[in-house]
Amino acid sequence: MPHPLSLLLQRHSTPSRQLGEPGPSGDELEALLQAAIRVPDHGKLVPFRLVLLRGDAKRSFGERLAQLSLRVNPDMPESKREKDRTRYDFAPLVVAVVAHVDASSKVPVIEQELSAGCVAYNLLLGAQALGYGAQWLTGWAAYNREAAGILGLADNEHVIGFVHIGTPQIEVPDRERPDLDDVLRVWTP
């Protein structure tokens, strides 16, 4: 019988460039997204949105980002433009997890952003539970207002991360993890 925490104890990321077809779709995708949005949400604000990038939309988004980065930096080498153009091409599904912040709420902004971050993390765990690989990435586009505009985000919204989901094309070795004793202390008065 597997340990009840085995999914968490085995969680790891698969590099986005090593994710290929197939990816979740249909009922499986809907179940993954439903599970992802079951997160702590102080004040029931629902401070998150999801934007799915699939198929030609991924390529179009990458093209627009490459144009934006070239406009900002006209001397950018072709290799960097190509990286911007193709960074969303590998995994069959990319989910932009968006923080939808209500600055007037009594709930602190950081709590709203952490709720959206939990959505991204649930996507990682859910993808792994379904047998897929996933990676949570940001990159400059997650922090750029014009890139947010390309995604159609409102002024009170920003990208928490792009979660790339697909089938691992390689066996991913686990990385070294912190020793619990190095990060844990017991508070005493």
pLDDT tens for 104-149 read: 999 999 999 999 999 999 999 999 999 999 999 999 999 999 999 9
In a domain, 1, yes or no: no
60 annotated ligand-binding residue: no
Question: 138 labelled as ligand-binding?
Answer: yes
Per-residue confidence (pLDDT) for residue 131, from 0 to 100: 97
Number of domains in the chain: 1
Q: What is the mean pLDDT of residues 24-44?
A: 98
Q: Is 187 annotated as a binding residue?
A: no
Q: What is the CATH number of the domain that holds 124?
A: 3.40.109.10
User: Is 42 annotated as contributing to ligand binding?
Assistant: yes
Is the previous residue joined to 168 through a cis bond, with omega within 30 degrees of 0? no
Average pLDDT over residues 95-111: 98
Region 54-67: mean pLDDT is: 96
* Residue 12 annotated as binding site: yes
Judge whether 87 is annotated as a binding position.
Answer: no
- The parent domain of residue 47 ranges over 6-183
Residue 168 confidence (pLDDT): 98
